[in-house]
């Protein structure tokens, strides 16, 4: 079967919050994904991240996968971590990385992604 790629984006601006990722280029439109007919597995995700911190602090980032399209219920995937060691803060980026998964999906049902 041909590979299917879908792009979502989001911004985390508060600690311990769950924000639904939006369709690429949309500021507010939630971006649920419809599992295509004939598909049975989510085999991986590609994740990239940036940070812009104003103080010495750190972060960890997860992607939460939910919805009726997941045969075995929600999944949480640790995707990156980072931080700044100086009081004046700084910027950094995490290059795009492929994270392999083996998640059973149900065709013609929705999956939501949260950051």
Which tokens is 43 given? 């085999």
Max intra-chain CA distance, the chain? 52
Q: What is the pLDDT of residue 4?
A: 73
CA-to-CA distance for 39 and 36, rounded, in angstroms? Answer: 6
Q: What is the pLDDT of residue 64?
A: 93
Residues 6 or more apart whose CB falls under 8 angstroms from that of 56 comprise 83, 84, 85, 86, 87, 89
Give pLDDT tens digits along the chain (115 positions).
Answer: 577 777 777 777 777 778 888 877 777 777 788 999 999 999 999 998 888 877 778 788 899 999 999 999 999 999 988 877 888 877 878 889 999 999 999 999 999 988 8
Contact 18, 64 (CB under 8 A): yes
Sorted by where each begins, the domain ranges of the chain are 17-114
């Amino acid at each position: 079967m041909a590979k299917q790629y879908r792009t979502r984006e989001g911004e985390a601006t508060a600690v311990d919050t769950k924000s639904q990722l939006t369709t690429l280029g949309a500021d507010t439109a939630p971006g649920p994904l419809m599992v295509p007919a004939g598909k049975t597995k989510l085999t991986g995700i590609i994740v990239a991240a940036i940070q812009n911190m104003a103080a010495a602090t750190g972060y960890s980032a997860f992607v939460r996968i939910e919805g009726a399209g997941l045969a075995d219920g929600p999944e949480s995937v640790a995707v990156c971590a980072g931080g700044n060691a100086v009081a004046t803060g700084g910027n950094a980026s995490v290059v795009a990385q492929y994270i392999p998964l083996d998640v059973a999906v149900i065709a013609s049902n929705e999956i939501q992604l949260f950051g």
